[in-house]
Amino acid sequence: MEATSRALAALPPEALYRRADTTDWAFQTTDELEDLAEVIGQARATEAIRFGVGMDGDGYNLYVLSPPGTGGHAVVRELLQERARHEPVPSDWCYVNNFEHPHRPRVLRLPAGLGTKLRDDMRELITDLEGAIRAAFESDEYRARRHELEQSMKERHEQAFGELGRRAAEQSIILMRTPTGMAFAPTRDGEVMTPGEFEKLPAEEQQRITDAIGGLQEELRRILEQIPQWQREAQQRIRALDREVVHAAVRHQIAAIKQKYSALPAVLEYLDAVEASVIEHADDFRVEDGAEWRPFGFVASAREALRRRYGVNVLIDNGSTEGAPIVYADNPTYPELIGRIEHLAQMGALVTDFMLIKPGALHRANGGYLVIDARRVLMQPYAWEGLKRCLASNEIRVESLGQMLSLISTVSLEPEPIPLDVKVVLVGERLLYYLLYNLDPDFRELFKVAADFEEDMDRSPETQRLYARLVATLVRRHRLRPFDRDAVARVLEHGARLAGDAEKLSIRTQEIADLLREADYWAREEGCDTVARGHVQRAIAARLRRSDRVRTRIQEEIRRGTLLIDTAGRRLGQVNGLSVVRLGDAEFGYPTRISARVRLGKGEVIDIQREVDLGGPIHSKGVLILAGFFGARYLPDRPLALAATLVFEQTYGPVDGDSASCAELCALVSALADVPLRQDLAITGSVNQYGEVQAIGGVNEKIEGFFDTCNARGLTGEQGVIIPAANVKHLMLREDVVAACSEGRFAVYPVTNVDEAFELLTGLPAGTRGDDGQFPADSVNGRVEEKLRRLAEQAHEFARGEERARS
């Protein structure tokens, strides 16, 4: 059977770069275009966000999957503002003292704006009470009543001791104070009887005196026993008097403030507690200012201490808020989200009270929306756990990290939790969403709505018109010079290149805006009022130039022969593969020599890259597919007696991806068929076990990479790149590449299967099996099969020889 080679045509220039169709664009500059009313190309995401923010119920928080530059944050802000402005203003939240348990401050919920009013009213009340209580205690009436009580206590003492003294005196005995107590002594002529005098008394008299003193001592003991009770009674009566006086002084003042807050039962309850506390601690209102007072460890002037004790810590004041709040947590640390309890250093110790409770972003967003960058919140220790706990329990419990982790067991505040009603919008990358979804069971419960932002959109006449309006919108938003029609077209074409697809347009508005700003810069540099296509082109080139140091160095080394790349002639078992590299925002391709050697073996294809752990898993997969392809296509009824080695020459780092599998196959085939391959062509594409060539990524960069290498050495007109036909739609090549192809100095060949690649690279027909089941002998496939057959026979012979030697 005779093999025939097919003539594979290079792609026409129009297939290499799809220009924007501007025929139905009626405008001259972007000034004539209207702003976009809404985000383009993100219908799915905006629908999801609208649903998420409108949906009530636990766990209906949002995760916005927004790849960098797609403007997720801006869209979320816009949609939230649109909704929040029509929603009710949430309540004010205040912390006040819990007089019974000061370490558990109470929370008060008040209608918006009333928090600060209550705080001011309380300040005024305490000032008034200070005056009123001091005045009450300084009044003559109070002094008289208190004196009466104290006097009655004294009189009771004196009466008891006086009576005792009189009874003693009646028996010629006196009550004396000794240095350590009290004693009775018999007297004679007003002086204590000496022992001699006492001994001279008749025995009966001595006994009488002894008995009398014993009785008096017993009486004294009873009096002494009663004294503490009398003191208690007196103190109680004085306290009752104080309470009565204070109550009279404060009752009217507190009644007045209660009247103002009569519709708020929680405030009334608090004011009752204030009243009881003021009455209980009335003495504190009498302390002269400047004296020290220590509630819960504080050292403060008496006045300041009172202000604190009866103060109102307005945690959230929504008095001037319009609509529901939208809070952006820029620094979502644990305390910034949940709130914190601050401390004051006093006398070497850290002390705190309810006035030092500070709000977090959740407090500020309560009743509205909280937007958080997912990566940032995940990077802050315990912030994610804290956020989830609040969302799961629907309340904000302010506690320090030490408390949360049970690291600190010293007494601290445990403020009453605040009910939480917030919609959290996490904005982050897709990867984070999928990781969280799979690894964090709470996540799917708490973030039920995902809004997935697209990075590109379909390219059609309609979307191209919208794209032009997007450019106009961005131009005005960033206050740039107007762009003319051709400039807009170039931006659009660059959008397709950014999308890596001639049929798509990138909607990473961040990148587009950057390009517009840079084009505007070049227009300004040239003194133009309008940005033209040339300015856009210059901005693109300048950007490329800024980031192409590595690309230039690689191409330089190829040109100088340090990196061995042939761009002319034919070589056996050697082919130009294409690699693509992304460094920062630069992405470029360059050729890499791939070589293959074969010998007798056991059917293995050794990928040297993989053997030294420089090959990634996808690369290894591509190589293993080659073995499958060989096994299925050639000598399916015999074992492969082949040992092949494949290597990416002069690569010193990891290689991954299967885009070189087609090139590797060609190198292997060349080595087996003993047919040299053209070196003026480079090839990219992955291959499956059936020999079909499949699409790969970075096709534009790869073609440009080989073009640059050839161009540096001078284009011969024979050079070109073989690409998968499935990648043709992705072509948006550089102007110079397109120009060279138009002039026939360079070519891009699309292939659908490896046979087409064999023919292009070898110039020989690939060959198909004839009716006899054999490939034509002079075809590439025929040569390969013949070689494999010979190897198989050699292997068989070799095996028999070994057997004979053993037997």
Partner 1 sequence: MSGRAQPAIRRILVALDASTGSVGALRAAAAVAAAASAELAALYVEDVNLLHLAALPFASEVDPISGRARPLQREGMERLLRAQGLRAQQAFVQATAHLRASCSFRVTRGRIVPALLQAALEADLVALGAIGSVSAARGGLGSIARAVIAETERPVLILPHGAALRPPIAVVVDAASGAGDALAFGAHLGGYFPSSELVVLLIAAGPKQAQALRDAAEAVLAGTEARYRAVDAADVDTLGRALRAERVGTLVLSRTSPSLSVESLGELLGRTNVAVLLV
Which residue bears the tokens 């090959």? 615
Of residues 187 and 277, the one with the C-beta less far from partner 1:
187
Question: Which residues carry out catalysis?
Answer: 659, 702
Distance CA 181, CA 272 (A): 49
Minimum CB separation of residue 167 from partner 1 in Å reads: 14
Minimum CB separation of residue 224 from partner 1 in Å reads: 4
Of residues 229 and 410, the one with the C-beta less far from partner 1:
229
CB 689 within 8 A of CB 650: no
Minimum CB separation of residue 166 from partner 1 in Å reads: 12
How far is Cα of residue 415 from the mean position of the Cα atoms in its chain?
Answer: 27
Minimum CB separation of residue 219 from partner 1 in Å reads: 10
Minimum CB separation of residue 185 from partner 1 in Å reads: 4
CB 472 within 8 A of CB 35: yes
CB neighbourhood size of 465 (10 A): 15
- Single-letter residue type at 226: Q
Minimum CB separation of residue 199 from partner 1 in Å reads: 8
Of residues 212 and 424, the one with the C-beta less far from partner 1:
212
CB 251 within 8 A of CB 282: no
Distance CA 79, CA 571 (A): 61
Specify the long-range contacts of residues 402-411, CB closer than 8 Å, at least 24 apart: 411/103
Reduced to 3 states, what is the DSSP secondary structure of residue 37? coil
Query: Is 503 exposed, middle or buried (CB count within 10 Å of its CB: 0-12, 13-18, 19+)?
Result: middle
Of residues 24 and 140, the one with the C-beta less far from partner 1:
140
How far is Cα of residue 801 from the mean position of the Cα atoms in its chain?
Answer: 69
Of residues 112 and 234, the one with the C-beta less far from partner 1:
234
- Could you tell me the two tokens for 576? 């130009």
CB 670 within 8 A of CB 677: yes
Rg (CA), the chain: 47
Minimum CB separation of residue 233 from partner 1 in Å reads: 18
Instruction: Write the DSSP string, 253-280.
Output: HHHHHHHHTTT-HHHHHHHHHHHHHHHH
Distances (CA, A) of 748 to 198, 306, 679: 142, 86, 15
User: 21 forms bridges with which residues in the sheet?
Assistant: none
Alpha helices in 394-528 (DSSP H): 401-404, 430-439, 441-446, 461-477, 485-499, 509-525
Of residues 184 and 310, the one with the C-beta less far from partner 1:
184
Binding site for partner 1 (CB under 8 A): 140, 147, 154, 158, 161-162, 165, 174-183, 185-186, 191-195, 198, 209-210, 213-214, 217, 220-222, 224-225
Of residues 34 and 204, the one with the C-beta less far from partner 1:
204
Burial 692-707 (b: 16+ CB within 10 A, else e): bbbbbebbbbbbbbbb
Minimum CB separation of residue 172 from partner 1 in Å reads: 13
Of residues 198 and 437, the one with the C-beta less far from partner 1:
198
Phi, psi for 360 (deg, rounded to 5): -110, 180
